Homo-oligomer: A and B are copies of this chain.
Amino acid sequence: MKKYIEVYNYYKDLILTGQYKKGDKIPSVRQSTAILNVSKTTVQNAYFELQADGYIIAQPQSGYYVSGGAREMLNETEESPASRQILYDLRSGDADSESFNLALWQRYIKSALRQEERLLSYSIPKGEADLREALSTYIREKRNVIASPERIIVGAGVQPLLAILCALANDRRTVSFPTEGFKQGIHTFKTHGFEVHTRDKNAEIIYVSPSHMTAYGDVMPIKRRLELVHHSETTGALVIEDDFDSDFMYQNKPVPSLFALSGAGNVVYMGSFSNVLTPAIRISFMVLTEELTRRFNEIESCLAQTASKTEQIALCGYIRDGHISQQTRRIRRHYTAKTRAMYDAIRTAIPQAETTVSENGLVIKVEAAFSGCAEDFIAKGLSVYIYSIDNGILRAALTPSALETEQIPAAVKALKAVLEGDNT
């Protein structure tokens, strides 16, 4: 008998005999590895089978839980709410456990925590000076965004930065978003009294994310970039270029940033480190135009820095030592390989579906005949981005970045079951 089947049977018995009850947390993969003296892969495979067979469920951020006690498991006919939990997250864009070198980041945090004197005072509104210096070099080298540290503002995510922008650009009243998808951004502008439109060229502020235009991972072509820059120069519209996910693309053909293309300086450039590092680190930044920098300086005393000073100090060292670029290459390889593996598995298992990989290499677009509804996905533990279910055709986007590589076969199997209307 294979090792992982032994582990599988071990936990299955504990559950069926009621020693682990519904809702109980079972040991983590790491703990089991120690308890049972087997390899991590063995435990992962066993847990995967336990999940597939409905004994346990994975709760993101938390661990594995027994999805039903022995009694329920044998008798229940109705699906329990617990088993409706997300098993396969193909939507969140969270990171998987393989992607980030946490030990390295820990070193920088520890070193930051040793800078006692710096930790005794509040960070200045723009963010730590040395971090902004490092960012200035980094974005110049990477995206040809040339701006002095003076123009760079650090914040705990894009939302607080947009709130600052709303205050700085309060002579404008309308803003356009490409879709209604970026709810946090739309919310911020709305609550600051802006009129929010979708794809409205006449808006005074135009928000775009050219490296991740849609849930499909489309990239803005150079032609449209030039048009947008020209439009902004002619009309004076302020462009917000949210360059998130830019780290994951341009592997073959680097597309210039709007900021670099624009001569008139009407572009605010935004970037974030949640994708390259871990989502748990809340540091984003924006590069203001000259004019907006002047306004920022005027109201500086009204603005508090939101990002953790410790993490700012750590990130500064991390960037200076070249780890961001290294990490970017690593993750890009890792995520695109995973997306490719899932794509191949879908092509083999579900040949009737039309599938393509997005230009940024992170998202799989699926188009397939489908007579079910969105709930069918949830029932199988799949969280996917459904673009439309229309005239018997499903259009969906799958982002496997949060999925562990070992989960791919099971996720594809679940997807196949949903698409083929298998409700068992």
Q: Does A279 contact B (CB under 8 A)?
A: yes
Query: Do A97 and B120 have beta carbons less than 8 Å apart?
Result: yes
Q: Closest CB of chain B to A65's CB: distance in Å?
A: 14
Q: 8 Å CB contacts to B: which residues of A109-128?
A: 109-110, 113, 116-123
Q: Does A307 contact B (CB under 8 A)?
A: yes
Query: Do B122 and A279 have beta carbons less than 8 Å apart?
Result: yes
Q: 8 Å CB contacts to B: which residues of A241-283?
A: 274, 278-282
Contact of A118 among B119, B121, B170, B280 (CB under 8 A): B280
CA distance A307 to B117 in the complex (A): 22
Q: Does A92 contact B (CB under 8 A)?
A: yes
Interface size class of A (residues with CB under 8 A): 35 or more
CA distance A144 to B167 in the complex (A): 37
How many copies of this chain? 2
Q: Which of A61, A109, A306 has the most CB of B within 10 A?
A: A61
**Known A-B contacts A120-B97, A279-B120, A279-B121; A306 and B306 likewise in contact (beta carbons under 8 Å):** yes
Q: Does A68 contact B (CB under 8 A)?
A: no
Contact of A306 among B61, B157, B302, B303 (CB under 8 A): B157
Query: Do A156 and B156 have beta carbons less than 8 Å apart?
Result: yes
Stretch from A77-85, A184-192, A334-342 at the B interface: A184-192
Q: 8 Å CB contacts to B: which residues of A162-189?
A: 163, 166-167, 170, 183-184, 186-187
CA distance A105 to B156 in the complex (A): 21
Stretch from A308-316, A344-352, A356-364, A391-399 at the B interface: A308-316
Contact of A193 among B102, B184, B193 (CB under 8 A): B193
Residues of A within 8 A of B (CB): 28, 60-63, 92, 94-97, 99-100, 102, 105-106, 109-110, 113, 116-123, 156-160, 163, 166-167, 170, 183-184, 186-187, 191-193, 274, 278-282, 299, 301-311, 402
Query: Do A310 and B280 have beta carbons less than 8 Å apart?
Result: yes
**Known A-B contacts A160-B160, A192-B193, A282-B156; A122 and B301 likewise in contact (beta carbons under 8 Å):** no
Query: Do B303 and A119 have beta carbons less than 8 Å apart?
Result: no
Query: Do A301 and B183 have beta carbons less than 8 Å apart?
Result: yes
Nearest B residue to A299 via CB reads B187
Query: Do B167 and A160 have beta carbons less than 8 Å apart?
Result: no
**Known A-B contacts A157-B304, A183-B302, A307-B156; A121 and B94 likewise in contact (beta carbons under 8 Å):** yes
